[in-house]
């Protein structure tokens, strides 16, 4: 689905579900963010990372534990 198309349905529906109001300018900002972020998010969601290496509570000041 095109992000621009889904934004027209998705954003108002999500706002309504959360009980959050938005004016036209805010909606335009959200649409722009959605068009930018949603396609890679869908790509990410399509990845099965269930068997990927995990690193619980990583110490980001250090390399990963081997």
Q: Which residues bind other proteins (CB under 8 A)?
A: 10-11, 14-15, 18-23, 25-30, 33-34, 36-37, 40-41, 43-45, 47, 49, 52-55, 58-64, 66
On whether the CB atoms of residues 55 and 23 are closer than 8 A, the answer is no
CB of residue 52 vs other proteins: minimum separation in angstroms? 5
CB of residue 9 vs other proteins: minimum separation in angstroms? 12
Non-local (6+) Cβ contacts of 27 within 8 A are 11, 12
Distance CA 34, CA 17 (A): 17
CB of residue 39 vs other proteins: minimum separation in angstroms? 10
């Amino acid at each position: 689905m095109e992000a621009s198309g889904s934004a027209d349905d998705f954003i108002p529906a999500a706002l309504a579900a959360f009980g959050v109001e938005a004016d036209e300018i805010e909606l335009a900002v959200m649409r722009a963010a959605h068009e930018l972020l949603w396609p890679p998010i869908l790509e990410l969601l399509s990845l099965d990372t269930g068997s990927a290496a995990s690193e619980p509570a990583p110490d980001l000041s250090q390399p990963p534990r081997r």
